[in-house]
Amino acid sequence: MKIAIKLAYRNLIGAGLRTWLNVIVLSFSFVVIIWMRGIINGWNRQAKDDMTAWEIGGGQYWHEKYDPFDPFTLSESHAPVPEELIPIINRGEMEPYLISQGTLYPRGRMQTIIVKGINPKQDIFLLPSQKLDTLITDAIPAVTGSIMARNLNITRGDRMMLQWRDAGGTFDATDIVITEIFSANVPNVDQGQIYISLENLQKMMNLPGEATIITYRDGHSPGLTELDGWNHKTKQELTSSVDELIKVKSVGTSVMYVILLLLAMLGIFDTQVLSIFRRQKEIGTYIALGYTRRQVVGLFTVEGTMNAVLAAIVGAFYGIPFLALQAKTGWTMPMDTSDFGMAIAQTLYPAYSAGLVIMTVIVIMFTTMIVSYWPSRRIARMNPTEALRGKIQ
């Protein structure tokens, strides 16, 4: 085996430019596949981190009638905060928020929106809720996201009328002033909604002490899986949509891996076929020297597979600095991601793991081995005498 590796190495280096072309193409596949998988991993991590920081915390309790995909449920999905959670809320480890519907009239245009009431002093979410504490005597301070602000063409300091119906169905209206516009990578906290203080919304809705969702801080689960009238949603459940999306995206990007690998493997396959065709005398000599046919096949397979080893080394030379730089500076997508409707940052930071790199190397090595072995099987069918004479078979 040692001799086979030595011979394979010499033959490869001896082939000169042909080998290096193969190696460069294959090394490119190595780097690009690791980078792409890193981007997908990074997106997965970033999406979940952003959702934790902006929307779901460590998990939530939803009012049993609340269904985020059915706005019809909103008018009924509220209840007093359960007594057992009140001490935890007072400690700041949980935050209730109330959700209602309203109509906003920015510059006389009518826009149906979701109004969320949140505690201005909360620090579970990154929302700039402290801006809801702004003192305005004749209006209610409100914050909104940048997507919503762009859609409504509003800026900080703008005043507009908010109309809503209270729990009894009576219309009410007041002015709101936008005290802050935040930018989040999670569209669920931005699109079509405004935030006002929980106390204000409870008063407006005539629902004192009531909430729709209660969120706990990441890593601080109160451990109550059963709460009468409330459904517990773990972080895993709440981020399952991201997992599904990543799964779909992984399948999609696999097509790119296959194309890249195909290009590289095509080169290796061609080289192997050419080698066997041109090196018949050499094959005959090996057999004459006592090599079994299997050993000769093995020699050629090792030679082909060594392309991948060299590609890994070459790829490491330029790939490691490139991948490290990418992990630091990130990859900024050329198009605006805010309208994608999913938690995705404009700049994605790839995340590489040892498992990802090892798995990629193994897959490419194995594929190269198969592709190298495939044409080498012909050697087993060769007549050694004819091969020694260099006669084409």
Q: Is 276 in the site for another protein (CB under 8 A)?
A: no
Q: Is 172 in the site for another protein (CB under 8 A)?
A: yes
Output the six-digit token pair for 371. Answer: 């592709």
Taking the least distance from each CB to another protein, the nearer of 73 and 250 is 73
- Residue from 3, 13, 21, 110 touching another protein (CB under 8 A): that is 110
- Residue from 6, 10, 91, 109 touching another protein (CB under 8 A): that is 109
**What b/e string do you get for 202-238 counting C-beta neighbours within 10 Å, with b at 16 or more?**
bebbebeebbbbbbbbeebbbeeeeeeebebbebeeb
- Residue from 74, 118, 308, 344 touching another protein (CB under 8 A): that is 74
Taking the least distance from each CB to another protein, the nearer of 75 and 151 is 75
Q: Tell me which DSSP letter residue 81 carries.
A: P
Helix (H, G, I), strand (E, B) or coil at 62: strand
d(CA 106, CA 162): 9
Taking the least distance from each CB to another protein, the nearer of 101 and 285 is 101
| Residues binding another protein: number (CB under 8 A) | 23
- Residue from 16, 169, 290, 334 touching another protein (CB under 8 A): that is 169
Q: Tell me which DSSP letter residue 375 carries.
A: H
Q: Is 174 in the site for another protein (CB under 8 A)?
A: yes
Q: Considering only the stretches 4-12, 67-75, 241-249, 370-378, report the one whose residues sit in contact with another protein under the rule CB under 8 A.
A: 67-75
Least distance from another protein to the Cβ atom of residue 70, Å? 9
Q: Is 324 in the site for another protein (CB under 8 A)?
A: no
Helix (H, G, I), strand (E, B) or coil at 318: helix
Q: Is 330 left (phi over 0), alpha (psi -120 to 50) or beta?
A: left
Q: Is 161 in the site for another protein (CB under 8 A)?
A: yes
- Residue from 105, 322, 331, 373 touching another protein (CB under 8 A): that is 105
Other C-beta atoms within 10 Å of 84: how many? 11
Q: Is 177 in the site for another protein (CB under 8 A)?
A: no
State the helix-helix crossing angle for 293-329 and 280-288, rounded to 10 degrees: 120
Helix (H, G, I), strand (E, B) or coil at 142: strand
Q: Is 137 in the site for another protein (CB under 8 A)?
A: no
Q: Taking CB under 8 A as the criterion, which residues in 112-131 touch another protein?
A: 112
Q: Which residue has the tokens 């459904």?
A: 231
Q: Which residue has the tokens 């906003």?
A: 104
Q: Is 163 in the site for another protein (CB under 8 A)?
A: yes
d(CA 230, CA 225): 9
Q: What is the CA radius of gyration of the chain?
A: 32
- Residue from 5, 32, 101, 241 touching another protein (CB under 8 A): that is 101
- Residue from 14, 16, 168, 223 touching another protein (CB under 8 A): that is 168
Taking the alpha carbons at both ends of the chain, their separation in whole angstroms is 27
CB contact at 8 A, 235 and 69: no
Taking the least distance from each CB to another protein, the nearer of 206 and 393 is 206
Q: Considering only the stretches 18-26, 151-159, 170-178, 268-276, report the one whose residues sit in contact with another protein under the rule CB under 8 A.
A: 170-178
For 15, 143, 230, 333, the CA distances from 28, given in Å and listed in that order, are: 20, 47, 52, 21
Q: Which residues bind another protein (CB under 8 A)?
A: 71-72, 74-75, 101, 103, 105, 107-110, 112, 161, 163, 165-166, 168-174
